[in-house]
Every structure is written in C-alpha cells, then in structure tokens.
Amino acid sequence: MRLHRHKYKNLAFFLLGMLAAFLFAKIPMVSNLLQHLGNYKYLSAFLGGVMFTSTFTLPVGAIILVSLARTLPIPILIPIAVTGAILGDCFAFKFIRKNIANEISLIYEELEKIVGKNHFKKIVHTKYFAWTLPVIGTLIMASPLPDELGVSLMGLSNMPFKKFLVISCLSHTLGISIILGIFR
C-alpha cells in the first residue's frame, strides 16, 4: 500500500517519530553531545526546555536543566527553558490540530459504526465532554509529566491558539520551577 493513500499516515509518522527519538537517545555519540552542550549554556537551556515536553526526551531535558541550574541563575534559566518548551508544544499543537485531528475523526466515524451513532454522539457532544478535554489537557501540562497527551487533548478541542500559548507558558513555568526546586 502506498503511504500517501494510507488513512492514518500522520498518526503513524507521529508514533514512528517517538520510537526513533527513543532509539536515537540510546546512541553513545548522542549522550556525548549532551555532555558538551554544557559549554553553550543558553542554547542548552533552550534545548532542555524543548526536550522537557516529550515523553522520550523529558528525562534528558530535566537532567540538562538541573545541571544548568548549578551555573546559570534560576531567573535566567527558567524563561529560556520555558520558551523552548512552548516552542515544542506549539509544534505539537499545530501538528495535531492540522494533521492528526482529521485521522482521529476517521476513528470517531468507525466508533460510531460499532457503538451506534446515537449513543456515541450523545456522549461526545454533551456540554460536559466539550470542556473536559481542555481541562484535563491543562492539568496534564501543569504536572511535571510529559505534555503529549495534554497537548493532544487541547489540539483536538476547539481551543484558540492564544489561549493554548498562555496555558503552555504558565504550566511550563510551574513544571520547570518545581523540577529545579526539587533537585536544587
């Protein structure tokens, strides 16, 4: 089957990308590169923030940020790392909203066939379900847990991008501050 005809190609690329990131982190050359990033403190803080948002790179991002906290002042480190984290979240949010949401709507249609259109539609289109996705997504992003699920829930909802930016900024400021506070 040709890839451009595949119904879930973006979802498949997303999952393959996560697997590739995990395997890539196991290469010794990559771990050596991470050790040398300490020479570039501001760039490392930014990259640590970007890495802080993903399941597979969260531990590496946290290690980078905690090690930088020994040499960079916290009031400088946090905004740089948060900027990187917001950039990582924005990429995921836009990707999910633009590409994966269409594929999930296909899954939604398949579930309607299995469960029955009326039952599934009643659950998904209630006023409680509509606000649940963004609230749960915000709580996940505010925790020191990886952001993929939270960003996905907000990307699939009808949340405005500006509101997402504010939530991302506040949640990462809180999460990175907590991590640095614990390990300091």
Tens-place pLDDT, residues 107-142: 667 766 776 665 555 555 666 666 777 788 878 777
Q: How many CB atoms lie within 10 A of CB 19?
A: 11
Query: Rounded to two decimals, what is the model's pTM?
Result: 0.68
How many angstroms separate the CA atoms of 175 and 117, rounded?
40
Q: What is the pLDDT of residue 83?
A: 96
Q: What is the pLDDT of residue 1?
A: 45
In the structure, what pLDDT confidence band is assigned to residue 29 with cuts at 50, 70 and 90? confident
**Token pair for residue 74?**
């916290």
In the structure, what pLDDT confidence band is assigned to residue 13 with cuts at 50, 70 and 90? low
How many angstroms separate the CA atoms of 82 and 73, rounded?
14
**Token pair for residue 175?**
């999460």
Please choose, from the candidates 172, 175, 170, 13, the residue with its C-alpha nearest in 3D space to the C-alpha of residue 88.
172
